[in-house]
A and B are shown apart, each in its own frame.
Chain A
Amino acid sequence: MSESIIAGLVVFVLASFIGFEVINKVPPTLHTPLMSGANAISGIAVVGAILIAGTQSSQVATTIGLFAVILATVNVVGGFLVTDRMLQMFKK
């Protein structure tokens, strides 16, 4: 297996441990906002989507990139906004 995969695995495993530690004790009240907030973060694929949509290597790749950008942006914008809307209600 190539070195870059190993390097990526190191990052992946350590980040997973950080995730488990950081999120460990979440009160049930916040389960839904945590899920939708985390979901918005998973829209980080938008970064990859932008790179693919913008490189203009082939028409097909650009089209795939366009769809990826749209879906990821819906995920990001919708996710953060809806989480904020929920948390706004929780404040009271």
Chain B
Amino acid sequence: MALDIGGWLAPVEQLTYLLAASLFIIGLKFLGSPATARKGNSLASVGMLLAIVVTLLDQGIVDYTTIFIGILIGSAVGAIAAQKVEMTEMPQMVGLLNGFGGAASALVAIGEYWRLSHAGMAVPMNVLVTAVLGVLIGGVTLTGSLMAFGKLQGVISGSPVTYPLQQPINLSLLVGFVVGGIYLIANPNDLNIFFDISAISLILGVLFVLPIGGADTPVVISLLNSFSGLAASAAGFVLGNDMLIIAGALVGASGLILTQIMCKAMNRSLSNVLFGAFGGGNTASGAAAAGKTDGVQKSHRSVDAEEGAMMLGYARSVIVVPGYGMAVAQAQHAVRELADQLEKNGVDVKYAIHPVAGRMPGHMNVLLAEANVPYSQLYDMDDINPEFERADVALVIGANDVVNPDARDNSGSPIYGMPILEVDRAKSTIVIKRSMNPGFAGIDNELFYKDKTMMLFGSAKDVVTDLVAHVKELVTA
């Protein structure tokens, strides 16, 4: 290309890639601290811009029309989606973006394979191996993310789907993929096999997310996040591009760290989350729960918003425990209003955030930040648990499994061993919930039947709005 006078472009391209990779690392480092996070995100985006611009100068590129059309459409869609998305829908958004990233990486692997095999060239071994890998990871990431999106959006049922021989079927598909992949490596120009293994990877993604229940979504989203990185790395291997490998590895590591944190917060292994079909009425837990309820007719106490407001308004300290129910009802602004009103009454208000509350890592933090709750009021599980004893009221809004005392006390419970927010240690507990139906995991919650627990039935938003009104009356009265 005429631009490349004296062959200076190739080294400049490589050095710019190095700079971009460095900016990604610094950006991720900065993303780890609230004070620098925004700057970190900007640095990473500058790195991305540099990488894109220098790639556009690559000598191999002869046609810019296609590229600019693609970038234009992609930018418009991305910008609009980022503007329009509700904070409550953030798990879906992140899930979808994971999927797009994975799909793009898989397409890069496919495109490069196609380009080489159609140019009549022998497709090199290393390209073949990594393209097969890229198709697998990218394909699984795409359909797995779309499934997670569908579950979160309510397009498909959020409860785990199980059927006989589920894992053997998945395993045989994976074996089929490996066999197909090896066959392709032996017969590089067999396009049919290439399509076959691409299809298998897409099916695997669907089947892999199918048995995973809604409450386990934070793990799945984190894992797919990690996969989207690995897919980019695989594309980097295909193209022999170190920057793609580095950037992908960084994302892979970050997703894996989050996956670990989420698993630890549920005291479960990754394989248990992925293959356990948790809460799918697996026989042991179902029987245990049924046996208990059959034996004793358990009773609960309920209050209305007026009584609830009295308890809250005359308390000295209240700890708010938000969960997925708050997100679904979009109640975060009402919750903030309630906290403001209580603080006016001289009540000390804190928020207790369980690491897996909601549907993605940090879900509750994002929602409360949107409602302008300062993050200094949000407390992690380990910091807040000793405080419950001193709290007058623990206000549970749409959280269930993460406050279930059975996880601590009942070794027969399927969630036994999962660290919980110990709301039952508070002097009293108000639980805002739609009905007595068990939560996503289908596990009965002992908390609801305790003497100190008051159930306040209704949609989180309506109930909290009522509470605000009644707390206001307390002041004027």
Binding site for B on A (CB under 8 A): 1-2, 4-5, 8, 11-13, 15-20, 22-58, 60-62, 64-92
Contact = CB atoms under 8 A, between A and B. Distances in A.
Contacts of A45: 101, 104-105, 108, 231-232, 235, 244
B40 interface: yes
A44 B365 CA distance: 28
A54 to B, nearest CB: 3
B113 to A, nearest CB: 9
A83 B379 CA distance: 22
Contacts of A75: 74, 78, 97, 100-101, 104
A5 to B, nearest CB: 5
16 contacts: A16-B252, A19-B254, A23-B31, A23-B32, A32-B363, A35-B221, A41-B251, A48-B111, A49-B70, A49-B104, A67-B70, A71-B107, A77-B79, A77-B82, A78-B77, A89-B370
Contacts of A2: 124-126
B330 interface: no
A62 B353 CA distance: 48
Interface in B88-132: 90, 93-94, 97-98, 100-105, 107-108, 110-112, 114-115, 118-119, 124-126, 129-130
Interface string B200-240: 00000000000000000000011001001101110111111
A72 B106 CA distance: 11
Given A33-B41, A44-B232, A56-B62, A38 B25 contact: no
Interface of B: 21, 24-25, 27-29, 31-34, 37-38, 40-42, 44-45, 48, 51-52, 55-56, 58, 60-64, 66-67, 69-71, 73-75, 77-79, 81-83, 85, 87, 90, 93-94, 97-98, 100-105, 107-108, 110-112, 114-115, 118-119, 124-126, 129-130, 221-222, 225, 228-229, 231-233, 235-258, 261, 353, 355, 360-363, 365-366, 369-370, 372, 374-375, 378, 380
Contacts of A70: 70, 73-74, 77
Given A73-B75, A75-B78, A39 B70 contact: no
Contact of B52 (A13, A47, A53, A64): A47
Nearest to A19: B253
B353 A81 contact: no
Contact of A32 (B237, B252, B361): B361
Given A27-B33, A71-B107, 16 more contacts: A4-B126, A23-B32, A23-B254, A32-B90, A34-B258, A40-B41, A52-B108, A52-B115, A57-B115, A60-B118, A73-B71, A73-B74, A80-B44, A86-B366, A89-B370, A90-B365
